[in-house]
Chains A and B, each alone.
Chain A
């Protein structure tokens, strides 16, 4: 039988079929984990910020300024305003994250899903209302100062984080949730180990959007005695001192760029491997 069986082994000249992926001892190559966009793209932004700061320092050292301008643009004053601005931004962002992420998670749970339109509606109003109106109204209600500014900023910037948390979790393939439940994970375990990790990139993108929004909007703090770099701009406008106005605007822009960059770095680092 062995000898009489014709040779089954006929070699084709051309590949008749895609390579067999399940063949013994074969398999795809592991790929290097390069973040989309690449780390190189992340290096340009801080370079620009540093360049901007250098140009500003150089200009400040060489420009001839009036006494008011020089006082307002003194190193100590500038440093204080910048720190204050940052503090407003960071504190508001922390509060936004602490409120909007859990709220966003809760609104994706089946039991609470029906409240989604209401909450999103409220958050929409918070963002769609003119920021300055929101600041003034809250100041009339709560009084002027730092914490009123923080409240206003939180209301104004909650939406991107809330929305991205929900979108991020809703974007998780429902089959993964089913697979998790199907293997005996509790609903909580699926949320913590599957849904949230997979939503992290989208949630962080929302947080970065909120941060940049906050840096810009915190300039309005000056109108309700909240301080920050907005003071420079405001003084520049009221006293027609262009150097103050431009300095304030430039510093806010540089701060926004720097914060955005930090956000991008965090996004790259925190992105779950394997995505």
Chain B
């Protein structure tokens, strides 16, 4: 059983908030009718409470099948599944699923229901009172960075792909399930939006500490999001189950090495996070502030631009002092091209964002999309060079 696990997980690092429960798969098998080889062949796997475990592997190797057996959208042919102390293998699947968040590609939002109705589905099924459901909807939209007053009553088609996916995550979290299953959720959005969604998920996970199982075909995504990565081969055979760092440093088989890909020197780009860099603190101004005052403060601090925060303290633009001097008060204009990254973004993401915006830096968002600082391209280059010197020496 557990001796088939290449690396039984250690308990989650101390000090981290955990609201999830462990998942334990015991020799789980799935045979589809009319196929001679099982799609999932006697897989045993332990996922620690509060950890994000990423499933990677070639297409058709059984990742989705294994994931869907956890919430029994697919019934296992054999084996047992435990959530926490409970054996859920024979539990009523509908009731089980209300305790497990499930996120699929493109969100899977019901198009004929408003965003609020979509998010409130599971709480309503669980018989929550109206007021409590309404409160929860707002809380969750807020959590995923969507203003409830703006988005609550909109229909999904009025949202961009990235926003729909955020609502999908909010809906999955609505009844505060201990476990979240995600099947290539960010596969259908453009790279910059995907990176935003990943940052968002990392931030939410830091706040909530759910147990997350996340299927992806993108190894960089696995490295970025995962506390641990499971590399599968055909039949959902576990080839390696370890932290991203360990898998990158020491691939268990040539197969994993191939999968991980070359470019070892650039690994630092995906392994290092923005929060490990020295962020630059800059002068901020709020909408409606006196422009001359803001310019004076910025000059005193040695900045030649200010970051404008909206009423919820989220950065919306970063005008130069020359631009600010021409105004009387700080405007509420939203700079659509403002390059932003999260504290959990990788250096890779940060560089992508800067290149896409043709800027030499990016605004770093912290909790609830508030300002954490500014990261510049020079800081990133220094970090890479330092890391290369360390690995070389």
Cβ–Cβ contact A16 & B108, under 8 A:
no
Report chain B residues within 8 Å CB of A184: 94-99, 122, 125
Cβ–Cβ contact A28 & B315, under 8 A:
no
Partner of A23, one of B281, B305, B336: B336
Cβ–Cβ contact B156 & A8, under 8 A:
no
Partner of B108, one of A20, A28, A176, A186: A176
Q: Does B259 contact A (CB under 8 A)?
A: no
Q: Does B297 contact A (CB under 8 A)?
A: no
CA–CA, A17 and B359, complex, Å: 11
Partner of B122, one of A3, A11, A31, A183: A183
Partner of A20, one of B111, B192, B310, B360: B192
Cβ–Cβ contact A197 & B112, under 8 A:
yes
Partner of A272, one of B97, B112, B304: B112
CA–CA, A189 and B281, complex, Å: 52
Partner of A5, one of B97, B160, B376: B376
CA–CA, A9 and B283, complex, Å: 13
Report chain A residues within 8 Å CB of B42: none
CA–CA, A198 and B111, complex, Å: 8
Q: Mark A12-40, 1 if CB is under 8 A from B, else 0.
A: 10011101111111111111000000000
CA–CA, A184 and B181, complex, Å: 13
Partner of B278, one of A1, A181, A183: A1
Q: Does B127 contact A (CB under 8 A)?
A: no
Expressed in whole angstroms, the minimum distance between the Cβ of B159 and any Cβ of chain A is 6
Cβ–Cβ contact B112 & A19, under 8 A:
no
Report chain A residues within 8 Å CB of B102: 179, 182-183
Partner of A1, one of B73, B192, B280, B301: B280
Expressed in whole angstroms, the minimum distance between the Cβ of A143 and any Cβ of chain B is 46
Report chain A residues within 8 Å CB of B81: none
Q: Mark A189-205, 1 if CB is under 8 A from B, else 0.
A: 10001100110000000
Known: A8-B374, A184-B125. A275 touches B111 (CB 8 A): yes
Cβ–Cβ contact B377 & A8, under 8 A:
yes
Cβ–Cβ contact A8 & B159, under 8 A:
no
Q: Does A117 contact B (CB under 8 A)?
A: no
Interface of A is mostly: loop
Interface residues of B in 277-320 (CB under 8 A from A): 278, 280-281, 301-305, 310, 312, 314-316, 318, 320
Cβ–Cβ contact B145 & A22, under 8 A:
yes
Cβ–Cβ contact A275 & B112, under 8 A:
yes
Cβ–Cβ contact B376 & A19, under 8 A:
no
Chain B CB within 10 Å — which of A3, A27, A29 has the most?
Answer: A27
Cβ–Cβ contact A181 & B73, under 8 A:
yes
Known: A1-B278, A183-B97, A184-B94. A178 touches B108 (CB 8 A): yes
Known: A28-B159, A181-B73. A186 touches B362 (CB 8 A): no
Q: Does A64 contact B (CB under 8 A)?
A: no
Residue in B closest to A25 when the chains form the complex, CB atoms: B310
CA–CA, A20 and B379, complex, Å: 24
Known: A179-B108, A183-B122. A26 touches B336 (CB 8 A): yes
Residue in A closest to B122 when the chains form the complex, CB atoms: A183
Known: A1-B278, A3-B302, A24-B369. A182 touches B104 (CB 8 A): yes
CA–CA, A15 and B161, complex, Å: 21
Residue in B closest to A194 when the chains form the complex, CB atoms: B110
Q: Does B121 contact A (CB under 8 A)?
A: yes
Chain B CB within 10 Å — which of A3, A24, A179, A189 has the most?
Answer: A24
Residue in A closest to B95 when the chains form the complex, CB atoms: A184
Known: A24-B369, A198-B112. A175 touches B316 (CB 8 A): no
CA–CA, A272 and B155, complex, Å: 11
Partner of B156, one of A5, A15, A30, A274: A274
Q: Does B265 contact A (CB under 8 A)?
A: no
CA–CA, A24 and B333, complex, Å: 11
Expressed in whole angstroms, the minimum distance between the Cβ of A67 and any Cβ of chain B is 59
Known: A175-B106, A272-B112. A22 touches B197 (CB 8 A): yes
Partner of A6, one of B109, B337, B360: B360
Report chain B residues within 8 Å CB of A20: 192, 196, 336-338, 340
Interface residues of A in 223-275 (CB under 8 A from B): 272-275
CA–CA, A126 and B81, complex, Å: 52
Expressed in whole angstroms, the minimum distance between the Cβ of B327 and any Cβ of chain A is 16
Report chain B residues within 8 Å CB of A272: 111-112
Cβ–Cβ contact A16 & B112, under 8 A:
no
Known: A22-B162, A30-B154. A178 touches B145 (CB 8 A): no
Report chain A residues within 8 Å CB of B211: none
Cβ–Cβ contact B310 & A24, under 8 A:
yes
Known: A1-B278, A8-B359. A31 touches B158 (CB 8 A): yes
Q: Does B343 contact A (CB under 8 A)?
A: no
Cβ–Cβ contact A183 & B362, under 8 A:
no
Q: Does B345 contact A (CB under 8 A)?
A: no
Q: Does A185 contact B (CB under 8 A)?
A: yes
Cβ–Cβ contact B379 & A5, under 8 A:
yes
Expressed in whole angstroms, the minimum distance between the Cβ of A18 and any Cβ of chain B is 8
Report chain B residues within 8 Å CB of A11: 320, 359
Q: Does A10 contact B (CB under 8 A)?
A: yes
CA–CA, A27 and B145, complex, Å: 11
A interface residue numbers (CB < 8 A to B): 1-3, 5-12, 15-17, 19-31, 175-176, 178-186, 189, 193-194, 197-198, 272-275
- Give 5 A-B contacts (CB < 8 Å), ordered by A residue: A22-B160, A25-B312, A183-B171, A272-B112, A275-B111
With contacts A23-B340, A181-B97, A182-B97 known, what are 15 further pairs, Cβ within 8 A? A2-B301, A3-B302, A5-B378, A8-B354, A8-B378, A20-B337, A22-B193, A24-B334, A178-B104, A180-B110, A183-B97, A183-B125, A198-B111, A272-B112, A274-B157
